Structure 1
Amino acid sequence: MIPGEIRTRSAPLDLNDDRERLSLVVVNAGDRPIQIGSHLHFPDANPALRFDREACRGFRLDVPAGTSVRLEPGVSRTVELVAFGGRRYVPGLQIRDLSKEPKTGERVPRPVVPFGTPGVDVPEPERASGTAMRVGEVDAHDGDPAEVVPTEAPPGDQDATEDTEEQQP
């Protein structure tokens, strides 16, 4: 034996083979990618994710410890979940009234339908609007395409020379 060596059976290891499993369609309705870690209580995941949070209470991702799943904006993905052991109660990241949490065994899963099914409403992702940017063009005099010259100032901006003019008494 070599120091630090890990010996396993020659047969493949089945992770979580004795746990209840659940497949769930998740849509990232946000405008940024979202990554979910292996042991996060799935209903506590980012609010921009659209899925049946009640159906997966007491579940986490069915992936090896230390790994994660990345969900791109506007994309639906089927994820595999596995039940936590014990009471399946995980306080998680969300602050909520613990007296209103369902007791073990009171979870009633709802049917999960694939993305795009008629009658399933998935709201459009919220996009940033009204970004304060100057409209610009490339300065043709020096030929440097990286330099942008403002051609129009946003409302409220004033020319610097107007502010520095001295007023005569």
Structure 2
Amino acid sequence: MNTYKLTLLALLAALAVVGRSLFVFLPNVQPVTSLVIICGLLLGPVAAAILGLLTTFLSNMLLGMGIWTIWQVIAWVLIGVLSGLIGKCFKKIPVYAIVLFAVFSGYLYGFIISLTTYSIAGKFWPYYLTGLPFDTNHALGNAVFIILLYPIISHFFIKYANNRFYLQNIS
């Protein structure tokens, strides 16, 4: 991983942490999942996994650590790896397909987070079913953030890829 890619990850992590902090007043609506998906699609599964891990720990330093932190890392790393694999398999993905994956990821994240309660109390279904409205908030928020952020971030990443290719061929 080169310095420029690390810089992009640091910027995405900062954007995710600030976004998560700014939207803390809306239950389960934050741009982290969408940014992890975008990172996976454009930079690959390893970069998205690093972003998920980094964002979880940095934002939880502000919002509070707990047993849920482990499950958040698992959820965001899994979503990042899945989106990275999708990005490697398909070069041209329509935005509506990315939005559908983001909605699915909101529910997947909620399912994985619900495993926290199961690991502590042994009760999964009551907690999961009670959390479905929050998972819906997360899924819809992901869709909105993908629609808003994906065109902008992909434009700059494509510009980076073209400049990188150009600079490598000059040297």
Quick check: which one's strand share is greater?
1
TM-score normalised by the chain length of structure 1: 0.27
**Which structure would you say has the larger RCO, counting Cα contacts within 8 Å and 6 or more residues apart?**
2
TM-score normalised by the chain length of structure 2: 0.27
